[in-house]
Amino acid sequence: MVEYLIFLTISTSIFALFGLGLNLQWGFTGLINFGHVAFMTLGAYTTVLLSLKGVPLLLSAIIGAVVAALLGLAIGFSTLRLREDYLAIVTIGVGELIRLVVNNQDLPVGNEWKPGAFGVQSYPIPLATLVPNIFIKLLLIGVLTLLAGITLWQLWRWIRVSKVSNIANSHKKVGGNQEFISRLVIGVLLAVLTVAVYISGAIALYNYNPTAGLMLMSLIVLAFVFWRLEILVRSPWGRILKAIREDEEIPKALGKNVFWYKLQSLMLGGAIAGIAGAFIAWQLSAIYPNNFEPQETFNAWIIVILGGSGNNLGTVLGAIIYFIYYEGTRNLDKIIPLDSDRLSALRIMIIGLILMVLMIWRPQGILGKKEELTLGK
């Protein structure tokens, strides 16, 4: 049970990172990216191939993020001066192009070249060979404790802000109460999940399991990226991105270089997806071109839409809900007698139906702000 929860935590962290990159591009800037998996692919393969050449793992992951950002630069220069639909078309094509090139191109694995369709295996993974003493174990558990403590404190602040706002806007009692109750329920559920992950992680770190080390790394990176993005989107830079999303003619009239801001958003979102690619390669221990099919992009879209576009916490919540659903329906064949292919199609149909209902009931997503996305209209 502990190992399974750690696996789910790593998967959720990776796709939360992946979704945060897309949320920056779409949720905050309005860039339609249907090939987001291309950035993940480049990040994964760059990290793995460089590490096989002896480049330190951390440096390999950073270079992978830079390469993914450069892809965003190339796509941006070719499409961002055109209509929005050109970006959507180009990104779909680029995502498939990179996967097919990796599938059909020989790759330098070690001292020899191997067909890309055979995948890449036996590459270094962070903390896999670590044999920690009791001091290192306690240090790792201390870092996990700090992360859990910060998470619980931030959740408490998030709920408290809603309560204070509810009191201040008591003349709007019904709407305020609904927001406070929803925040309270979501906050309590996230707090329970945080405690469960903390207990499982502390046990696995004390008995040292390499996957627990990877889980801690993924949570640290997710927390750092989330923190920096929250600062960025609340800065003047982030406010310009939101203005571009709503009506780019307004920032243009104010003298802002809209093309440059879009390019920055596309590159930064791509770099974040590249980091997610490094982590998915480390989690899988062997990567193949079929790990990066277009479905991964639409999983990210599901996460962003479900949690609420233009809201970083909503993206993290969307990733949690998505993986709870995904793992919860894995054994649906015990209830409904279907083969694996039909079961997979049914699971996609169900989540599609959930999204349709959500779009009718709450089109801005669970934590999205409808008044912000429509400029209060």
The model's confidence at residue 377, banded by pLDDT at 50, 70 and 90, is: very low
* 291 and 145, same domain (yes or no): no
| Last residue within a domain, chosen from 155, 176, 207 | 207
* 177 and 145, same domain (yes or no): yes
- Number of domains the chain is built from: 2
* 287 and 306, same domain (yes or no): yes
Range with the poorest average pLDDT among 19-28, 47-56, 246-255, 312-321: 246-255
Q: Is 0.85 topped by the overall pTM?
A: yes
Asked if 280 contacts 41 with a C-beta cutoff of 8 angstroms, the reply is no
* Residue 63 belongs to domain with CATH number: 1.10.3470
* 92 and 111, same domain (yes or no): yes
pLDDT tens for 193-224 read 999 999 999 999 999 888 999 999 999 999 99
Average pLDDT over residues 63-83: 90
Its sign, for the CA torsion 99, 103, 105, 111, is positive
Q: Is the pLDDT confidence value at 88 over 70?
A: yes
* 203 and 111, same domain (yes or no): no
* 168 and 270, same domain (yes or no): no
Mean pLDDT of the chain: 87
Q: Is the pLDDT confidence value at 104 over 80?
A: yes
Range with the poorest average pLDDT among 129-138, 178-187, 233-242, 303-312: 178-187
Average pLDDT over residues 183-189: 87
- Return the higher-pLDDT residue of 354 and 167: 354
pLDDT of residue 372: 62
Which structural domain range is residue 71 located in?
2-131+208-373
* 282 and 168, same domain (yes or no): no
* 113 and 139, same domain (yes or no): no
- On the CB side of 175, how many CA atoms lie within 13 Å of its CA? 5
pLDDT of residue 61: 95
* 38 and 152, same domain (yes or no): no
* 107 and 247, same domain (yes or no): yes
pLDDT tens for 8-20 read 999 999 999 999 9
* 118 and 137, same domain (yes or no): no
| Last residue within a domain, chosen from 207, 234, 265 | 207
What CA–CA distance (Å, rounded) separates 149 from 135? Answer: 21
The residue with tokens 């649906």 is 332
The model's confidence at residue 162, banded by pLDDT at 50, 70 and 90, is: low
Asked if 239 contacts 246 with a C-beta cutoff of 8 angstroms, the reply is no
* 103 and 39, same domain (yes or no): yes
Nearest to 372 by CA among 28, 25, 19: 28
Q: What radius of gyration, in Å, describes the C-alpha atoms of the chain?
A: 21
pLDDT of residue 169: 55
> Helices 134-168 and 210-234, interaxial angle, to 10°?
30
Range with the poorest average pLDDT among 63-67, 264-268, 348-352: 348-352
What CA–CA distance (Å, rounded) separates 122 from 117? Answer: 16
pLDDT tens for 109-157 read 767 777 888 889 889 999 888 888 999 999 999 999 999 999 999 999 8
pLDDT of residue 97: 92
User: Helix, strand, or coil here: 108?
Assistant: strand
The model's confidence at residue 165, banded by pLDDT at 50, 70 and 90, is: low
pLDDT of residue 116: 82
Q: Is the pLDDT confidence value at 375 over 50?
A: no
pLDDT tens for 21-60 read 999 999 999 999 999 999 999 999 999 999 998 899 999 9
| Last residue within a domain, chosen from 207, 232, 263 | 207
